[in-house]
């Protein structure tokens, strides 16, 4: 593949397009109660996160999005998988502080103040423009509002619920992208890449500020998925690249958040759902000692 500025991924040599047995949510039995809030659950990757937690036996799901019709379809699919799961559908514009406040209040009321996992999947790309001078200012601002500010609003209003949940998983997941590392090539859509890089750095701050209180913050690249957003923006010549299952990210979210704090060593880091989970766990000592998979300068800052 042409070098588009992806960077290396350490010693991980095996990648997957679909959930493996190691991360398959159907092989997981989550403790009860276990409540998950998914922002951006109306389609594609977000719906895949919801169905994965339904497979794993979550007792409660909060499905949020601006698209109510999509949320109802996701809820119906989750009920087919897990008829006992309690589902709350909440209309929410992630760029609105009032809407996200209402989402937090609804979650607290519906589940007695419990929240184990928050997964923020809402994202906006806009038309791919390789040159800044060709980029519409309103489109650029919208990407910032959805991908970066929206994640901040979810953190501000929903982290308190995660922290107050006694014995909870206390996990905050942001659906990230390999685009945070891209600076060239046909997918280097500045508004998307820059806003998602800002989101990644925000998640590192969340880790630094709340890890001592038991919160784990993960940034998860979902793979190359032909989502509806991708359908709207990716040139036809590059559709072949988008071959990964929308269920892959959900399976990884379950894998990260099961078994209590077993994978908290990945908190504050960027991980890819394409990676082989066993190979990643074998790298644990190296990842921790070298503080890998974070957004850094390639040289130390000189004072």
Dihedral class, residue 7 (left if φ above 0, else alpha if ψ from -120 to 50, else beta): left
**Range with lowest mean pLDDT among 12-26, 27-41, 110-124, 134-148:** 12-26
| HSE value, Cβ hemisphere, 13 Å, CA-based, for 221 | 23
Domain membership of residue 164 (yes or no) is: yes
Domain membership of residue 142 (yes or no) is: yes
Cα-based distances in Å from 33 to 17, 30, 112, 252, 268: 31, 8, 11, 20, 26
For every residue of 62-79, which 3-state class applies, written as one string? Answer: EEEECCHHHHHHHHHHHH
Residue 227, pLDDT > 90, answer no
Domain membership of residue 277 (yes or no) is: yes
Length of the chain: 303
Position 223 confidence tier, pLDDT thresholds 50, 70, 90: confident
Alpha carbon distance 171, 211 (integer Å): 10
Catalytic sites, residue numbers: 192, 196
Alpha carbon distance 151, 154 (integer Å): 5
The domain containing residue 70 runs over which residues?
Answer: 25-290
pLDDT tens readout for residues 54-91: 999 999 999 999 988 899 999 999 999 999 999 999 99
Domain membership of residue 285 (yes or no) is: yes
pLDDT tens readout for residues 184-213: 887 788 999 999 999 999 999 999 999 999
**Which three-class secondary structure state does DSSP give residue 175?**
strand
Domain membership of residue 50 (yes or no) is: yes
Q: What is the pLDDT of residue 1?
A: 36
- Assign residue 281 the CATH number of its domain: 3.40.50.720
Dihedral class, residue 10 (left if φ above 0, else alpha if ψ from -120 to 50, else beta): left
Total number of domains in the chain: 1
User: Which residue in 20, 18, 25, 79 sits closest to 52, CA to CA?
Assistant: 25
Q: Is-contact 92 39, C-beta < 8 A?
A: yes
Domain membership of residue 149 (yes or no) is: yes
Residue 292, pLDDT > 50, answer yes
Domain membership of residue 2 (yes or no) is: no
Q: What is the pLDDT of residue 4?
A: 37
Q: Is the model more confident about 1 or about 61? A: 61
What average pLDDT score do residues 233-259 get? 77
Domain membership of residue 20 (yes or no) is: no
Position 124 confidence tier, pLDDT thresholds 50, 70, 90: confident
Give CA angle at 294 (147, 213), nearest 5°: 80
Structure pTM? 0.91
Alpha carbon distance 125, 190 (integer Å): 9
């Amino acid at each position: 593949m042409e070098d588009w500025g992806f960077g290396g991924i350490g010693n991980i040599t095996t990648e997957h397009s679909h959930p493996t047995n190691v991360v398959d949510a159907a092989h997981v039995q989550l403790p009860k109660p276990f409540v998950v809030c998914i922002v951006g659950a109306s389609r594609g990757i977000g719906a895949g996160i919801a169905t994965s937690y339904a497979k794993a036996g979550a007792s409660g799901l909060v499905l949020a999005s601006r698209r109510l019709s999509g949320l109802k379809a996701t809820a119906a699919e989750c009920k087919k998988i897990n008829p006992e799961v309690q589902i709350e559908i909440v209309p929410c514009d992630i760029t609105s502080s009032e809407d996200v406040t209402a989402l937090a209040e609804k979650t607290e009321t519906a589940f007695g103040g419990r929240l184990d996992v928050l997964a923020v999947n809402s994202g906006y790309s806009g038309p791919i423009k390789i040159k800044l001078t060709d980029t519409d200012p309103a489109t650029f601002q919208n990407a910032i509002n959805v991908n970066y500010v929206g994640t901040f609003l979810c953190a501000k209003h929903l982290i308190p619920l995660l922290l107050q949940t006694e014995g909870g998983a206390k996990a905050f997941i942001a659906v990230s992208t390999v685009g945070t590392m891209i600076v060239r090539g046909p997918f280097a859509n500045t508004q998307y890449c820059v806003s998602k890089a800002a989101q990644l750095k925000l998640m590192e701050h969340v880790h630094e500020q709340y890890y001592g209180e038991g919160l784990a913050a993960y940034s998860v690249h979902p793979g190359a998925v032909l989502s509806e957003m991708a359908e709207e923006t990716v040139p036809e010549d590059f559709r072949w690249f988008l071959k990964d299952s929308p269920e892959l990210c959900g399976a990884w979210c379950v894998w990260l958040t099961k078994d209590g704090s077993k994978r908290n060593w990945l908190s504050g880091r960027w991980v890819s759902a394409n990676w082989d989970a066993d190979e990643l766990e074998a790298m644990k000592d190296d990842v921790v000692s070298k503080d890998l998979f974070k957004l850094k300068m390639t040289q130390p800052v000189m004072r």
